[in-house]
Amino acid sequence: MKNYLPNMYQESIFTIPYDTLKEKGITLLLFDLDNTITPAHMKTAEETVKQLFHTLKEKGFTVVIFSNSPNKRVKPFSTFLEVSMNGLSFKPMQRSFKKMLKKYNTDKKSTAIIGDQLMTDIVGGNKAGIYTVLVNPLTVKDMILTWYNRYKEKKIFETLYKEQGFERGKYYE
């Protein structure tokens, strides 16, 4: 159950205290796409996300869209948001996590994942030993494949509440 608990929990990518991540020595930010950066059914991202990523790059972060979606879906976001990408990541499997550390020549202590799903983003990140940040999903409208995950996730949230005192909407750093 410990693998399901995020290191940080925030409302959205806009409320994350990035300076705190910086102070922890984190330089590589792996962002989930669907329901983290953009609602799962949308084909474009908001201009505000582009501004945020621009600011993050100015602060010295490397920003990567780290998604389980196919490259065909991820590529337009990568182009518009002017950040690099990795599609078909198969989170929570570890192969792509390892690939990212190698590609960006960094280590797990300097890397964070930011995502909306416990079973892919948070479990994968915790297993990889990187810093994990959970955000609320942007919409409840999900891909069919994630419905089952959401059902299981509900049960996990209940257990996290009982065992760790984790509550949805009770944000922490």
24 or 42, CB closer to Mg ion? 42
22 or 150, CB closer to Mg ion? 150
Residue 167 amino acid letter = E
22 or 157, CB closer to Mg ion? 157
* Contacts to Mg ion by CB under 5 A: 32, 34-35, 116-117
Query: How far apart are CB 120 and Mg ion at their closest, in Å?
Result: 7
Query: How far apart are CB 67 and Mg ion at their closest, in Å?
Result: 8
Query: How far apart are CB 123 and Mg ion at their closest, in Å?
Result: 13
Query: How far apart are CB 27 and Mg ion at their closest, in Å?
Result: 23
Spatial separation of the C-alpha atoms in residues 9 and 15, rounded to whole Å: 10
60 or 153, CB closer to Mg ion? 153
Q: Are 131 and 101 in contact (CB under 8 A)?
A: no
Query: How far apart are CB 23 and Mg ion at their closest, in Å?
Result: 26
- DSSP codes of every residue in the chain: -GGGS-SEEESSTTT--HHHHHHTT--EEEE--BTTTB-TT-SS--HHHHHHHHHHHHTT-EEEEE-SS-HHHHHHHHHHHT-EEE----TTSSHHHHHHHHHTT--GGGEEEEES-IIIIIHHHHHHT-EEEEE--S-S---HHHHHHHHHHHHHHHHHHHHH---TT--B-
How remote is the C-alpha of 25 from its chain's centroid?
A: 18
141 or 162, CB closer to Mg ion? 141
